[in-house]
Amino acid sequence: MDDQNAPNRNEDNFFDKMDNTKPSVIIKKLQRSRNNVIIAGVCAGLGEYLKIDIAKVRLLVLLSLLLGGWSITVYLIAAALLPRESIGDYLSENDVLLMKKENYRTVFSGLLVLSGLYFGFELLGIRNNESIFILPSGFIFPVITIAAGVYLFSIKEPRQSVKTVNLTQNYFRSRKDRFFMGVCGGLANYIKTDSASIRIIMVIITLLTLGFFAIIYFAFTLLTKYEPESSFEFPQ
């Protein structure tokens, strides 16, 4: 019987020793993020390592494209060399959805600022579109397009079950998400997209059509109702 208990005694000793040891220092490693990923998780990894807002890192990387596209090379090298985070944080479905929404907004806003700066520089005559890196831009763009095509083709799509779609959902102006009459918020809710993008598109189209599009906005205001009171939630 004593022999059988011997390993247990050893285990006890081991845990006794563990209690006496000092808490080990967590070594922070630069690695690609597992959860917060848009392309390869490099920006998120860098943000977590430097304890900077990840969105700001992404914005900076996007804006650095103005310097001739070298950041793409640096990004690809980092994506190839950096290890991936072994265990990601547990995120609920709602957290993932919110994170995706925020990431989408970050990329969209970054692209808007990037194109604004690009065309602004072009207007001021500050632009170099002859070459990206050392290679001529007429060569590099087709190569990037082909590479993107091959990359997308290599992605294995999981077989998805056909989702039941709520085709009976009607259009209502939004009570919660509104600036003026809730038309854009309602439209965003109807087509399941971001309301900020809808508003921007609406403003741009109204300007481009000399205000004609505003007639449609008012038609929506007059001919459609607000969403029912039951779905209205008071802000906390």
Question: Where along the sequence are the contacts to other proteins (CB under 8 A)?
Answer: 37-39, 55, 59, 84, 102, 105-106, 108-120, 123, 138-139, 141-153, 155-158, 162-163, 165-171, 190-193, 196, 200, 205, 207-210, 212-213, 215-216, 219-220, 223-224
Query: Which is closer to other proteins, CB of 64 or CB of 224?
Result: 224
Torsion of CA 141, 146, 147, 148, to 10 degrees: 90
Burial of residue 191 (number of CB atoms within 10 Å: 0-12, 13-18, 19+):
exposed
Q: Find the helix packing angle between 42-50 and 70-81, rounded to 10°.
A: 80
In what helix (H) or strand (E) does residue 197 lie, and over which residues does it extend?
helix 195-208
Q: Nearest approach, Cβ of 147 to other proteins (angstroms)?
A: 8
CA-based end-to-end distance of the chain: 64
Is there a contact between 99 and 34 (Cβ–Cβ < 8 Å)?
A: no
Q: Nearest approach, Cβ of 229 to other proteins (angstroms)?
A: 21
Q: Nearest approach, Cβ of 12 to other proteins (angstroms)?
A: 42
Query: Which is closer to other proteins, CB of 50 or CB of 148?
Result: 148
| CA-atom Rg of the chain in angstroms | 26
Q: Nearest approach, Cβ of 151 to other proteins (angstroms)?
A: 8
User: What letter would DSSP give residue 53?
Assistant: -
Query: Which is closer to other proteins, CB of 10 or CB of 92?
Result: 92
Query: Which is closer to other proteins, CB of 139 or CB of 232?
Result: 139
Which is nearest to 100 in space by CA: 32, 192, 38?
Answer: 38
Q: Nearest approach, Cβ of 35 to other proteins (angstroms)?
A: 10
Query: Which is closer to other proteins, CB of 49 or CB of 213?
Result: 213
